[in-house]
Amino acid sequence: MTTRTTTTPTGTSGESRIDSARQFMEGTARVLERRQLEVFLDDAPVEPVLDALRPYRNPDGGFGHALEPDVRCPGSQPSAALTALGVLAEIGATNDPMVTATADWVASVARSDSGVAQVLPSALGHPRTPWMEPKDESSFLTFAIAGRLHQLGVEHPWLDAATAWSWRELESQKEAGGYTVVFGLQFLDAVPDPDRAAAAIDRLRPAIRPDGTVPVPGGIEGEHIKPLELSPRPETPSRALFTPAQIDADLERLESEQLDDGGWDFHFLHWMPAQSTEWRGIVTLDALHILREHGRL
């Protein structure tokens, strides 16, 4: 159990923030996030990150083994592919063979409309969070995976088809909400089509409440997605949805949420011990990235 940090005299300086986060990661996080932290903080080489990512791979070219902590089956899953692409993008490993191999795997499990399911049947009989239920319909993960592949500069037939699918979904009259907005913005921030992306981003505006947050229907009580989760990086197209004041307020919120063990926590359901621990390593790394990119670290 952890509690909020009280403001000690040194508690808010960038250096002590980093030191305590490092302690948290060394005490708690997986090897993968620990290696990513070394690249981020110490300019360490990226090969150990790639080495830490490979054990999550399967012979089919996909990723499983709870790389994404909510689905804990060994088999390859779209959510794990998304996590892997996020890691590869973060360390700039755009030319690693795992990038196109992952695109090939995603293409192999895509549905006839080119979208991918949120969870594949290989998860049946394995531990997972309640919202990770196999269903044969295209999901919002398609937006996010396509966005990551664009970010990585990939050329791939499935990416073309998934991009078309994403535009169709985002430009239809449906009202988007919850994580559809998060993943939709990941696509729109990355797709190299600035005019069309700017218009689609504007269409998402009604989903955002006056305080800059998006509610999550069916989540834990009061669950909502925050501005920096919707638009984690400065200078990106999604920033058009937020005022500087909203971003500043959310940066202060993020700074204040470092816990006294040095890590950050996540705002959705804590379902299993390992799931909770693994997510905390991931969101702590994310929090440090966001703070540094906004000059707060």
Partner 1 sequence: MSYREFRAPTGLLPVVACLWRNDTLVDGTERVVPDGCVDLVWLGDGPPLVVGPDTGPVVWEPTGVPTCGVRLRQGAAGNVLGLPASAVRDLQVPLTEVWPEAGALSEQVATAGDTAECLRLLAGAVLHRRVTPDPLATEAARRLADREIRVADLAAELGVGERQLHRRVTAAVGYAPKTLARVARLRRLIGADEAPTMSLADQALAAGYASQAHMTDEVHRLTGVTPVRFLEDVRLTAA
Residues forming the site for partner 1 (CB under 8 A): 89, 92, 94-95, 147, 150-155, 189-198, 233, 235-237, 239-240
Exposed e or buried b for every residue in 49-75, given b needs 16+ CB within 10 A?
bbebbeebbbeebbbbbbbbbbbbbeb
197: exposed, middle or buried (C-beta count within 10 Å: 0-12, 13-18, 19+)? buried
Query: In the bound complex, what is the minimum distance in angstroms from residue 60's beta carbon to partner 1?
Result: 25
Q: Is 135 or 196 the residue whose CB approaches partner 1 more closely?
A: 196
Query: In the bound complex, what is the minimum distance in angstroms from residue 182's beta carbon to partner 1?
Result: 14
In whole angstroms, what is the distance from residue 63 CA to residue 56 CA?
Answer: 5
Nearest to 258 by CA among 95, 14, 9, 93: 14
Query: In the bound complex, what is the minimum distance in angstroms from residue 231's beta carbon to partner 1?
Result: 11
Query: In the bound complex, what is the minimum distance in angstroms from residue 240's beta carbon to partner 1?
Result: 8
In whole angstroms, what is the distance from residue 158 CA to residue 61 CA?
Answer: 15
Q: Quick one: tokens of 290?
A: 């966001």
- Residue whose structure tokens are 């899953």: 77
Query: In the bound complex, what is the minimum distance in angstroms from residue 175's beta carbon to partner 1?
Result: 25
CB of 2 within 8 A of CB of 260?
yes
Exposed e or buried b for every residue in 226-262, given b needs 16+ CB within 10 A?
bbbbbbbeeeebbbebbeeebbebbbeebbebbbebb
Q: Is 48 or 237 the residue whose CB approaches partner 1 more closely?
A: 237
189: exposed, middle or buried (C-beta count within 10 Å: 0-12, 13-18, 19+)? buried
The type of residue at 291 is: L
Query: In the bound complex, what is the minimum distance in angstroms from residue 68's beta carbon to partner 1?
Result: 20
Query: In the bound complex, what is the minimum distance in angstroms from residue 235's beta carbon to partner 1?
Result: 6
Q: Is 149 or 225 the residue whose CB approaches partner 1 more closely?
A: 149
Phi, psi at 126, each rounded to 5°? -120, 155
Q: Is 117 or 152 the residue whose CB approaches partner 1 more closely?
A: 152
Query: In the bound complex, what is the minimum distance in angstroms from residue 236's beta carbon to partner 1?
Result: 6
| Nearby residues of 90 by Cβ (< 8 Å), 6 or more positions away | 36, 289
Q: Is 130 or 192 the residue whose CB approaches partner 1 more closely?
A: 192
Q: Is 53 or 190 the residue whose CB approaches partner 1 more closely?
A: 190
Q: Is 100 or 213 the residue whose CB approaches partner 1 more closely?
A: 100
Q: Is 29 or 93 the residue whose CB approaches partner 1 more closely?
A: 93
9: exposed, middle or buried (C-beta count within 10 Å: 0-12, 13-18, 19+)? exposed
